[in-house]
Structure 1
Amino acid sequence: MRYVTDEGIGGKNLLYTVIKKNLYQDSVNLMLLTNYLSEMDNINQVSIMMGTPANKDIFRGSGLYTPELDTANPNDLCIVADASDKEMVDQLILEVDSFLANQSSTSKEKSISVVRTWEMAENKLPNADLAVISIAGEYAASEANKALDRNLHVFLFSDNVSLDDELQLKRRAEEKGLLVMGPDCGTGIFSGVPIAFANVIEEGNIGVVGASGTGIQEVTSIIGRLGGGISHAIGTGGRDLSAEIGGITTIRGLQMLNADPETDVIVFISKPPAPEIREKVIEEFKKLHKPVVAVFMGDRPQKQHDNVYYTWTLRDTALKALELAEKNQTTADQLVADHKELRDMKKNPEQLHVKGFYCGGTLALEAAMILREAFDLHAVNEHPEGIMLDDQGFEVIDFGDDAYTKGRAHPMIDPTYRMEKVKEAAADPKTAIILLDNVIGYGAHDNVAGILAPVIQKAKAERNIIFITSVTGTGLDPQVYEDQVKKLKESGAIVADSNAQATALAVEIVNYLIGEERPAANKDESREGTITNLISAKPNVINIGLSSFAEAIEKHGGQVVQYQWAPIAGGNKHFAKILELLK
Structure 2
Amino acid sequence: MIIRNVIKRNSYYDSVNLMLLSSKLSPIPGVDKAAVMMGTDMNKSLMEESGLLMEEGRQATANDMIIAVSARDEEAIARVFEEVDNFIKNKDEKTGSLQEEAAHNLESALSMLPGANLAVISVPGQYAKYEAQKALRNGCHVFLFSDNVGLEEEIELKDFAIEKGLLMMGPDCGTAIINNRAIGFANVVPPGDIGLIAAAGTGLQEVTCLLSQNGFGISQALGTGGRDLKEPVNGRMMLQGFRALAADDNTKVIVLISKPPAQEIAEKVISEAEKVDKPVVICFLGQKIQTECSGVFIVDTLEEAAKKAMALEEKEGVQTGNALDTADIESIARTEIEKMSPEQKYLRGNFSGGTLCYEALLVCQEELGGIYSNSPLDPSLKLPDSSKSISHTCVDLGEDEFTRGRPHPMIEPALRKERILQEANDPETAVLLLDVVLGYGCHHDPAGVLSPSIIEAKEAAAAKGRYLSVVVSVCGTQLDPQNREDQIEKLEKAGAIVMASNAQAARLAALIAKKSREGRCCYEQN
Q: TM-score band (shorter)?
A: 0.5 to 0.7
Of 185, 190, 198, which residue of structure 2 is paired with 1:202? 190
Who is 2:293 aligned against?
305
Q: 2-side partners of 1:37 and 1:114: how far apart?
A: 29
Who is 2:201 aligned against?
213
Q: 2-side partners of 1:135 and 1:185: how far apart?
A: 13
1:186 aligns with 2:174: yes
Unaligned runs of 5+ in 1: 1-12, 329-546, 550-554, 557-583
Q: 2-side partners of 1:97 and 1:159: how far apart?
A: 27
Who is 2:55 aligned against?
67
SS in 2 for 1:115: coil
For residues 8-27 of structure 1, the aligned pairs below 5 Å read: 13-27=1-15
Of 216, 226, 234, which residue of structure 2 is paired with 1:228? 216
Deviates more, 1:133-142 or 1:84-93: 84-93
Who is 1:35 aligned against?
23
Q: 2-side partners of 1:191 and 1:22: how far apart?
A: 34
SS in 2 for 1:305: coil
Who is 1:115 aligned against?
103
Distance 1:314 1:99, change over 3 A: same
Distance 1:29 1:193, change over 3 A: closer
For residues 248-327 of structure 1, the aligned pairs below 5 Å read: 248-300=236-288, 302=290, 305-326=293-314
Who is 1:102 aligned against?
90
State the 1:256 CA deviation: 1.0
Offset from partner CA, 1:318-366 (integer Å, 9 cap, x none)? 12112222259xxxxxxxxxxxxxxxxxxxxxxxxxxxxxxxxxxxxxx
The question of whether the paired residues in 2 share the 8 Å contact of 1:304 and 1:310 is answered with: no
Q: 1-side partners of 2:131 and 2:240: how far apart?
A: 22
The one-letter code matched in structure 2 to 1:78 is: I
The question of whether the paired residues in 2 share the 8 Å contact of 1:301 and 1:311 is answered with: no
Offset from partner CA, 1:230-278 (integer Å, 9 cap, x none)? 1111211121111201111111111111111111111111211011111
SS in 1 for 2:256: strand
Offset from partner CA, 1:447-506 (integer Å, 9 cap, x none)? xxxxxxxxxxxxxxxxxxxxxxxxxxxxxxxxxxxxxxxxxxxxxxxxxxxxxxxxxxxx
1:44 aligns with 2:10: no
Unaligned runs of 5+ in 2: 317-439, 443-478, 481-526
Q: 1-side partners of 2:291 and 2:302: how far apart?
A: 17
Q: How many pairs does the alignment contain?
A: 321
Distance 1:16 1:111, change over 3 A: closer
State the 1:301 CA deviation: 5.6
Offset from partner CA, 1:106-146 (integer Å, 9 cap, x none)? 33368996321222101110111111123333322221111
SS in 2 for 1:29: helix
Who is 2:46 aligned against?
58
Q: 2-side partners of 1:191 and 1:81: how far apart?
A: 41
Who is 1:524 aligned against?
none
Distance 1:117 1:63, change over 3 A: same
State the 1:94 CA deviation: 2.2
Q: 2-side partners of 1:319 and 1:209: how far apart?
A: 16
Identity of aligned residues (%): 46
The one-letter code matched in structure 2 to 1:257 is: L
State the 1:292 CA deviation: 1.0
The question of whether the paired residues in 1 share the 8 Å contact of 2:16 and 2:441 is answered with: no
The question of whether the paired residues in 2 share the 8 Å contact of 1:301 and 1:312 is answered with: no
State the 1:196 CA deviation: 1.7
The one-letter code matched in structure 1 to 2:234 is: G
State the 1:63 CA deviation: 1.4
Distance 1:47 1:216, change over 3 A: closer
The question of whether the paired residues in 1 share the 8 Å contact of 2:146 and 2:171 is answered with: yes
Who is 1:172 aligned against?
160
Who is 2:488 aligned against?
none
SS in 2 for 1:310: strand
State the 1:24 CA deviation: 2.3
State the 1:166 CA deviation: 0.6
The one-letter code matched in structure 1 to 2:296 is: V
For residues 512-523 of structure 1, the aligned pairs below 5 Å read: none
User: Taking structure 2 as the reference length, what is the TM-score of the superposition?
Assistant: 0.57
State the 1:195 CA deviation: 1.9
Of 234, 247, 260, which residue of structure 2 is paired with 1:246? 234
The question of whether the paired residues in 1 share the 8 Å contact of 2:40 and 2:124 is answered with: no
Of 81, 90, 96, which residue of structure 1 is paired with 2:69? 81
Work out which of the two has the higher radius of gyration on C-alpha atoms and give 1 or 2.
1
Distance 1:84 1:325, change over 3 A: closer
State the 1:304 CA deviation: 5.5
For residues 398-477 of structure 1, the aligned pairs below 5 Å read: none
The question of whether the paired residues in 1 share the 8 Å contact of 2:6 and 2:57 is answered with: no
